[in-house]
């Protein structure tokens, strides 16, 4: 009888452990890069076209191609260049314009049977927008000077409006938004909120105004306690090509997380372990850096700056573990 009781307790413990793993995730099978290069200049942005770069993404379909967007006031355009920033081309987005648009992020991924570019009109400095939008454009080998979007995704936050500069598409099609919670005028930062829009929701046809799903908070004040507020707010987000990790850019550094957002909730930040759940990456800080992107193999990333009063480099950082 005592033995049966112990077996039942053991089974109960294993069941609870399994449920906890499903809810919060254990350590991912992926491993964090433990050492990154200092970073080197891979190229330079074309100031005549990209004068306030607020998003960059590396194409998975066309190796060697980068996509760029300008910040608010730049109009409804996106830009294509090679990895050095050369051969830059400007493409106008046709169709209904959005008043006071604030393009802040760009990502790539599958949309039904196509490969698409997702442009996030997610900036909201005054935190007053009732809804925000993502513009979806098919990836083509050659673009004319303008293109009609495949469709537009409108959505709302479940609680209140937020300002955001980070957006990324998971390989499974889910869209993730991470907010910029700050008062930099008073040098104060607050926990960033992570939301998602599942693929099965945004792929619905029609003019539905979708509700985002809250995923969790990330408090960079805990992860980067010695940094200033500029190193504790999120200015960009990207998800690794295999979906097992994601990377955040701040105005001072980058942080890579060993978390697959598609099958885990985010644990409270105080429970995340450095070297296991995340690594803080020292980079050469650029003024007003707001763009980050993994390269195709997930073992290197690019970042750049929207500050255009002098040369705006495209910086490359490589994992040195291999």
Residue 143 has pLDDT above 90, yes or no: yes
Q: How high is the pLDDT of residue 257? A: 97
- What local confidence, expressed as pLDDT, does residue 100 receive? 63
Q: What is the band of 31 on the pLDDT scale with cuts at 50, 70, 90?
A: confident
CATH no., domain 2-318 = 2.120.10
SS3 content of the chain, % helix, strand, coil (to 5): 10, 40, 50
- Given a contact cutoff of 8 angstroms between Cβ atoms, the answer to whether 256 and 32 are in contact is yes
| Integer CA distances (angstroms), 173 to 78, 120, 142, 179, in order | 21, 15, 24, 20
The domains of the chain are located at: 2-318
Reference 56, options 318, 310, 319, 306; nearest CA is 306
Q: Tell me the residue ranges of DSSP E strands in 7-76.
A: 40-44, 53-58, 65-70
The reported pLDDT for the residue numbered 303 is: 98
Do 45 and 68 form a contact (C-beta atoms < 8 A)?
yes
- 17 to 135, 271, 277, 320: CA distances (angstroms): 41, 16, 18, 35
φ, ψ for residue 183 (rounded to 5)? -135, 80
- The fraction of the chain above a pLDDT of 90, given in percent, is 78
Q: What is the mean pLDDT of the chain?
A: 89
What digits encode the pLDDT tens for the residues 93-136? 998 765 567 899 999 999 989 999 999 999 999 999 999 999 99
Residue with tokens 């449920």: 19
Does position 315 have pLDDT exceeding 60, yes or no?
Answer: yes
Give the residue-averaged pLDDT of 83-98: 89
Contact (CB, 8 A) for 193 and 199: no
Please say if the pLDDT value at position 11 is more than 60. Answer: no
């Amino acid at each position: 009888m005592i033995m049966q009781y112990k077996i039942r307790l053991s089974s109960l413990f294993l069941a609870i452990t399994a449920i906890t793993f499903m809810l919060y995730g254990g350590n991912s099978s992926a491993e964090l890069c433990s050492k990154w290069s200092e970073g080197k200049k891979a190229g330079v942005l074309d100031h005549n076209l990209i004068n306030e770069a607020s998003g960059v993404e590396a194409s998975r379909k066309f190796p060697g191609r980068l996509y760029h967007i300008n910040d608010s006031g730049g109009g409804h355009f996106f830009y294509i260049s090679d990895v050095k920033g050369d051969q830059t081309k400007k493409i106008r987005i046709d169709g209904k314009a959005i008043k006071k648009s604030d393009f802040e992020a760009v990502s790539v991924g599958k949309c039904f049977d196509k490969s698409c570019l997702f442009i996030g009109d997610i900036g909201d400095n005054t935190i007053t927008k009732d809804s925000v939008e993502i513009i979806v454009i098919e990836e083509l080998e050659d673009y004319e000077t303008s293109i009609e979007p495949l469709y537009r995704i409108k959505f709302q936050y479940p609680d209140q409006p937020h300002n955001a500069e980070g957006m990324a598409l998971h390989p499974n099609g889910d869209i993730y938004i991470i907010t910029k919670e700050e008062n930099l005028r008073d040098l104060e930062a607050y926990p960033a909120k992570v939301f998602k829009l599942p693929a099965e929701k945004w792929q619905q046809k029609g003019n539905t105004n979708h509700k985002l799903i809250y995923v969790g908070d990330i408090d960079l004040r805990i992860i980067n306690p010695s940094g200033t507020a500029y190193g504790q707010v999120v200015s960009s987000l990207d998800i690794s090509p295999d979906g097992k990790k994601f990377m955040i850019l701040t105005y001072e550094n980058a942080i890579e997380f060993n978390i697959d957002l598609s099958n885990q909730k985010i644990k409270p930040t105080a429970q995340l372990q450095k070297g296991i759940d995340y690594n803080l990456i020292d980079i050469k800080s650029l003024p007003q850096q707001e763009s980050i992107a993994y390269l195709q193999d997930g073992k290197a990333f690019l970042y750049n700056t929207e500050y255009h009063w002098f040369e705006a480099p495209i910086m490359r950082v490589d994992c040195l573990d291999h």
